[in-house]
Amino acid sequence: MTDMDVADTVTTGQPAGRHIEPHPAGQRKILGLNWLGGTLSWLWLIIVMLPIYWIVITSFKSQDKYFTQNPLAPPSSFTLDNYKLVIQSDFIRYFVNSVIVTIGAVLPAVIIAFMAAFAIVRASARSRFLTSVNALFLMGLAIPLQATIIPVYLIIIRLKLYDTLLAIILPSIAFAIPLSVLVLSNFIRDVPKELFESMRMDGATEWRTLWRLVFPLTRPALVTVTIYNGLAIWNGFLLPLVLTQSPQQRLLPLALWTFQGQYSVNVPAVLASVVLTTLPILILYAIGRRQLLSGLTAGFSK
């Protein structure tokens, strides 16, 4: 045995010239698991996409064709009459109301949560008050909206805001802040302390540090909480149902419920309203998809 063979034997623990082949049974097992996972993934994709496909194709069918054709068959002749009927039924008013409520609630909630998270992370170790505020925000995550709807209703009545869009905006801001603070504070804690020290050495104030340093670095988290809160408020049903009454103040989810009662037989018209309501959500998700996924991965995994 040569010196080279002895060195190979010492370093590898195996006689020289002997190679360890990968176990074929293990490879077949991993390959089998991959095939099983892929099959289940495609099956789940079909289950999820089938209702969406049915909604879209049905919205382009006429009422008589819906009852005579196969529900899953594409329409023989596409028609936009259902969309025209929905738009003529004050859909634009409901859409504008939903946009006003969503923007009016999301922007203040994200800004307040961003500044609160910065204050909690930077000064919570030196301030008992901010530590208590952080505990209060975390407590807000454990209180569901359904448990507070009666007190919220009484407060709105006392403030004489019932049947106004502001009656929906104010509670939406309050319920969007706790989760936003939790996600943003986790991101701000990841900012290296050396950067804060560098800004302080340059004479920057806390306000300038917030907007010149923390804001650019936590942009994925801001997009995450903006999209998440926007979807929650856009799809909200309980607050508009309890805090509004007149048709002029209806939001899209409540309007869809009204369409379902008004067009209980005209199913294609109801599904056309569903498609129009979902389009802004899809556009918003397509714009911020990458930031949303990165924000959820880094924010909720802590």
97 within 8 A of 251, measured Cβ to Cβ: yes
Averaged pLDDT, 208-216: 90
Radius of gyration over every alpha carbon of the chain, rounded to an integer in angstroms: 28
- Estimate to the nearest angstrom the gap between the alpha carbon of 181 and the chain centroid: 15
Q: Do the beta carbons of residue 8 and residue 16 sit within 8 Å? A: yes
Residue whose tokens read 């714009």: 287
Question: CATH for 81-299?
Answer: 1.10.3720.10
Confidence of residue 108 (pLDDT cuts 50, 70, 90): very high
The token pair at 273 is 């309203």
Q: pLDDT at position 100, please?
A: 96
> Whole-number mean pLDDT of the chain?
81
Distance CA 206, CA 203 (A): 10
Ramachandran assignment for 19, one of left (phi > 0), alpha (psi -120 to 50 degrees), beta (any other): beta
More confident residue, 126 or 296: 126
CB atoms within 10 A of CB 263: 20
Q: At residue 127, what are phi and psi to the nearest 5 degrees?
A: -130, 120
Give the rounded distance of the alpha carbon of 103 from its chain centre. Answer: 15
Q: Name the residue with higher pLDDT: 100 or 206.
A: 100
Residue 23: predicted pLDDT = 53
The pTM assigned to this predicted structure is 0.78
Q: How far is CA 223 from CA 52, 174, 207, 219, 252, in A?
A: 26, 19, 21, 6, 23
C-alpha–C-alpha distance, residues 33 and 179, integer Å: 37
Among 15-29, 129-143, 261-275, the least confident range:
15-29
Question: Does the structure show a pLDDT above 50 at 6?
Answer: no
Judged by DSSP in three states, 35 sits in helix
pLDDT of 265 above 50: yes
Contacts of residue 27, defined as CB under 8 A and 6 or more positions apart, other chains included, come to none
pLDDT at residue 135, as a whole number: 82
62 and 49 Cβ atoms separated by less than 8 Å: no
- 104 has a pLDDT exceeding 90: yes
Question: Tens digits of per-residue pLDDT, 153-207?
Answer: 999 999 999 999 999 999 999 999 999 998 898 888 888 888 888 888 888 888 8
